């Protein structure tokens, strides 16, 4: 069997930044065990497999695997796969007018738009499950110890640690400055003990940014590969909309957040979160960013 694949860097406009992604095309002949083995072979945070859509009105079906498990949904695989599918199938149409795709993921259909903006290929998807905050009584002292920080390093303004999810849960931990953010060193065992989560994942964030036009800088740590730091995490960005809504109390209307991530890893990434608020309630969230195709090849299986 010979299967084509592409390598992309996601949430960036330039190669060798953002979050790396492998996308395997024409994957209908693969079973789950084979997909998992291929994801282990690539050994990236996620590998996407593109299959024919179950419903012919949709664009394609995606299955997303880490080296260890299959995920029902993830942000940077959705962005990267949407850009690649649009480029492969309709590159001559990629102008300022977005191309609409519907990608079937395990969480459900995900509506995406792809366009070429100032030369960059950009995608945006509407989050299929509205994010929510569902835990607000986290122990700051235990979290600080798990991160190699002081309790006074955690929190700013009204922001305090919470757990939020748009399909994948993250502990969102506000820290006082970029210096604190960069100083954090994760003890995964201690974090696991401090959080009421089956697979602990933490997003540390601060208001201090590299570019003053952006809103927060973040670092995201996920379990499953040890204390793995992720350079760009769309599912965390989606969930962050609920955190921003809780602590910032945005007025009714449309709002945009720009999140920097990956700077401590020298893989700078930029994630755009669009929020719609109606009657003080979050009613829609979308996540967007650019992707760059950096390589291609074939799997010989």
- Count of residues for the chain? 301
51 forms beta bridges with: 61
Residue 53 three-state SS:
coil
- Helices 75-90 & 234-248, crossing angle to 10 degrees? 120
- Asked if 59 and 85 count as a contact pair (C-beta separation under 8 A), the reply is yes
Q: At the top level of CATH, which class does the domain 132-287 belong to?
A: alpha beta
Looking at residue 16, what is its pLDDT? 97
pTM, rounded to two decimals: 0.94
What is the percentage of the chain residues whose pLDDT exceeds 70? 98
Which residues have a Cβ under 8 Å from the Cβ of 37 and sit 6 or more positions away? none
Superfamily of domain 2-126+290-300: Diaminopimelate Epimerase; Chain A, domain 1 (3.10.310.10)
- Asked if 19 and 11 count as a contact pair (C-beta separation under 8 A), the reply is yes
Looking at residue 224, what is its pLDDT? 61
Catalytic annotation on 88?
Answer: no
Q: One fold for both 2-126+290-300 and 132-287?
A: yes
Q: Can you give the residue ranges of every domain in the chain?
A: 2-126+290-300, 132-287
- Asked if 148 and 185 count as a contact pair (C-beta separation under 8 A), the reply is yes
Mean pLDDT of the region 169-185: 97
- Residue 198 confidence class, pLDDT cut points 50, 70, 90: confident
Mean pLDDT of the region 208-233: 88
Q: Which of 13, 41, 46, 113 is catalytic?
A: 46
- Residue 168 confidence class, pLDDT cut points 50, 70, 90: confident
The per-residue pLDDT for range 16-56, each reduced to its tens digit, is 999 999 999 999 999 999 999 999 999 999 999 999 999 99
């Amino acid at each position: 069997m010979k299967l084509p694949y592409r390598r992309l860097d996601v949430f960036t406009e330039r190669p060798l930044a953002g979050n790396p992604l492998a996308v395997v095309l024409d994957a209908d002949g693969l079973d789950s065990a084979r997909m998992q083995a291929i994801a282990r072979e690539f050994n990236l945070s996620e590998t996407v497999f593109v299959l024919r859509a179950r419903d012919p009105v949709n664009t394609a079906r995606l299955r997303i695997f880490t080296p260890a498990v299959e995920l029902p949904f993830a942000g940077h695989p959705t962005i990267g796969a949407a850009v690649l599918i649009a480029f492969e199938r309709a590159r001559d149409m990629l102008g300022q007018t977005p191309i609409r795709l519907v990608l079937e993921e395990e969480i459900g259909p995900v509506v995406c738009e792809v366009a070429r903006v100032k030369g960059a290929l950009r995608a945006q998807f509407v989050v299929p499950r509205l994010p929510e905050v569902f835990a607000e009584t986290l122990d700051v002292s235990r979290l600080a110890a798990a991160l190699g920080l002081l309790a006074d390093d955690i929190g700013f303004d009204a922001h305090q640690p919470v757990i939020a999810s748009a399909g994948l849960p993250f502990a969102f931990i506000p820290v006082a400055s970029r210096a604190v953010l960069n100083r954090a060193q994760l003890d995964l065992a201690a974090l696991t003990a401090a959080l009421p989560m089956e697979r602990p994942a933490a997003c540390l964030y601060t208001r201090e940014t590299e570019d003053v036009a952006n809103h927060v800088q973040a670092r995201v740590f996920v379990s499953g590969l040890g204390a793995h730091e992720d350079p760009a995490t769309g599912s965390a960005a989606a969930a962050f909309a609920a955190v921003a809504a809780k602590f910032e109390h945005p007025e009714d209307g449309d709002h945009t957040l720009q999140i920097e991530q990956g700077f401590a890893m020298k893989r700078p990434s930029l994630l755009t979160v669009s929020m719609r608020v109606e009657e003080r309630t979050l009613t829609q969230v979308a996540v967007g960013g650019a992707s760059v195709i950096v390589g291609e090849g074939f799997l010989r299986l």
